[in-house]
Homo-oligomer: A and B are copies of this chain.
């Protein structure tokens, strides 16, 4: 009952969410079916459907045809996070983003990278190391492999005006990606890059980006000590 006198799907969703949260409807229990709720709330079934569908997508409800809708046993099983876009992330904090290409060469990828990128063996690929800085202090160090047969135009890119990621975002399309978050212990090389002590625990994001079945690029981002990724539900 927000604006008009009509009941909106948001109204229904809020009410249902509250009933779950207050445990009027307990985990595992079946809730009334759509038609019944529609009558209770005085709205169309489609409106209830819209509301419940959203809650099911969020993992709060489990729905099955004929069986009905019930409150999930383990409520809230997924959350969303923002994919870090380095420049946006840094500028969003009011800092200035710069980057420095440390290395750019054709190189034979190690077996694990070759497997992950699903590329033939013994074919050199473009390897780029870049350091991103926020107000001049190291922010994240990236080691990137680029599939040169999928992105031939990359041969002519020097990644000075645009960082590798920015260049790729502008030049090539992609339709999927794999993300792996982990931690590693800073090696001497990484410590020097990120201006921290060797042995420090660092946050790592490995990302592999696809387009049309092909792997475009595979990158490891090693963040500065103290980096945090945040989300809420």
Cα distance, A178 to B231, chains bound together (Å) = 6
The residues in A between 1 and 28 inclusive whose CB is less than 8 angstroms from any CB of B are 17, 20-23
A-B contact pairs, 15 of them (CB 8 A): A17-B175, A21-B173, A21-B175, A21-B211, A23-B173, A75-B174, A79-B83, A81-B179, A178-B232, A181-B181, A181-B203, A183-B203, A186-B201, A199-B199, A203-B203
Contact A228–B181 (Cβ < 8 Å): yes
Which positions in A face B, CB cutoff 8 Å? 17, 20-23, 74-83, 85, 88, 169, 173-186, 199-204, 211-212, 223, 225-233
Contact B180–A183 (Cβ < 8 Å): no
Cα distance, A228 to B169, chains bound together (Å) = 26
Nearest CB to that of A82 among chain B residues?
B78
Say whether, besides A76-B83, A169-B74, A202 and B183 are in contact (CB < 8 Å).
yes
Min C-beta distance of A218 to chain B, whole Å: 13
Question: Could you say which residues of chain B place their CB within 8 Å of the CB of A232?
Answer: 176-179
Cα distance, A126 to B232, chains bound together (Å) = 24
Question: Could you say which residues of chain B place their CB within 8 Å of the CB of A228?
Answer: 180-182
Cα distance, A75 to B201, chains bound together (Å) = 31
Question: Could you say which residues of chain B place their CB within 8 Å of the CB of A202?
Answer: 183, 201
Name the 7 nearest CB pairs between A and B, nearest first.
A201-B201, A183-B183, A185-B201, A183-B203, A21-B175, A183-B201, A181-B229
